[in-house]
Structure 1
Amino acid sequence: MGRPLAAASPLPGLAARRPDLVGLALLLCTVLGWGLSWPVNKLLLGLWPPLSLRGMNGTLGGMALMLLALARGEALGVPLGQWGRLLLIAVLNVTCWIGFTTYSMLWLTAGEAAIAAYTMPLWTVLLAWPLLGERPTVRRVAGLATGLAGVAVLVGGGPSLDLSRLPGVVMSMLAAVTFALGTVVTKRAPLTLPPVAGAAWQVLLGALPLALAGLLLERADPAAMPAHGWALVAVVAAYPLGVCYLSWFAALRRLPAGLAATGTLLTPVIGVLGGTLLLGEPLGLRQGLALLLTVAGVLLALRG
Structure 2
Amino acid sequence: MTRGLAHVEEAKLGSLPAPPPAERRPERTIGIACLLATACGWALNWVAMKFLLQVWPPLFSRGLAGVVAAIGLALVAVLMKQSLRVPREAWPRLLGAAFTNVFAWMGFSSLCMKWISVGEGALLVYTMPIWATIFAWPLLGTRPTRRGVAALLLGVAGISVLLGGQSFAAGSGQLPGVSFALAAAVLFALGTVLNGAPLPLAPVASTAWQVGLGCLPMFLLGVAFESPQLGALTPAGLGAMVYMTIFPMGVCYLTWFGALRRLPPSAASTGMLLVPLLGTLTAAALLGEPFGTRQIVSMVLTLSGVTLALRRG
TM-score, with structure 1 as normaliser: 0.76
The reply to whether residue 214 of structure 1 matches residue 246 of structure 2 is no
Structure 1 position 296, deviation (Å)? 3.9
The reply to whether residue 163 of structure 1 matches residue 169 of structure 2 is yes
Q: Which residue of 2 aligns with 1:181?
A: 190
Counterpart AA for 2:143: R
Call closer, same or farther: CA 1:147–1:174 in 2, change over 3 Å: farther
Matches within 5 A, 1:32-71: 32-71=40-79
The reply to whether residue 234 of structure 1 matches residue 270 of structure 2 is no
Matches within 5 A, 1:11-50: 13=22, 16=25, 30-50=38-58
Q: Which residue of 2 aligns with 1:5?
A: none
Q: Which residue of 1 aligns with 2:11?
A: none
Structure 2 counterpart of 1:135, from 120, 131, 143: 143
Matches within 5 A, 1:77-226: 77-104=85-112, 107-109=116-118, 117-153=125-161, 156-157=164-165, 162-163=168-169, 171-187=180-196, 190-226=198-234
| Distance of 2:20 and 2:239 partners within structure 1 | 38
Consecutive unaligned residues of structure 1, counting only runs of 5 or more, are 1-8
SS at match of 1:157: coil
SS at match of 1:56: helix
Structure 1 position 69, deviation (Å)? 1.1
Which protein has the larger Cα radius of gyration, Structure 1 or Structure 2? 2
| Distance of 1:86 and 1:41 partners within structure 2 | 27
Identity %: 46
Call closer, same or farther: CA 1:172–1:87 in 2, change over 3 Å: same
* Cα deviation digits, residues 147-169 of structure 1 (max 9, x gap): 444454456438xx543898777
Call closer, same or farther: CA 1:52–1:251 in 2, change over 3 Å: closer
Call closer, same or farther: CA 1:145–1:242 in 2, change over 3 Å: closer
> Retained in 2: the 8 A contact 1:149–1:294?
yes
Structure 1 position 97, deviation (Å)? 0.6
Structure 1 position 297, deviation (Å)? 4.0
TM-score, with structure 2 as normaliser: 0.74
| Distance of 2:283 and 2:259 partners within structure 1 | 26
Counterpart AA for 1:186: N
Give the alignment's Cα RMSD to 1 decimal. Answer: 3.9
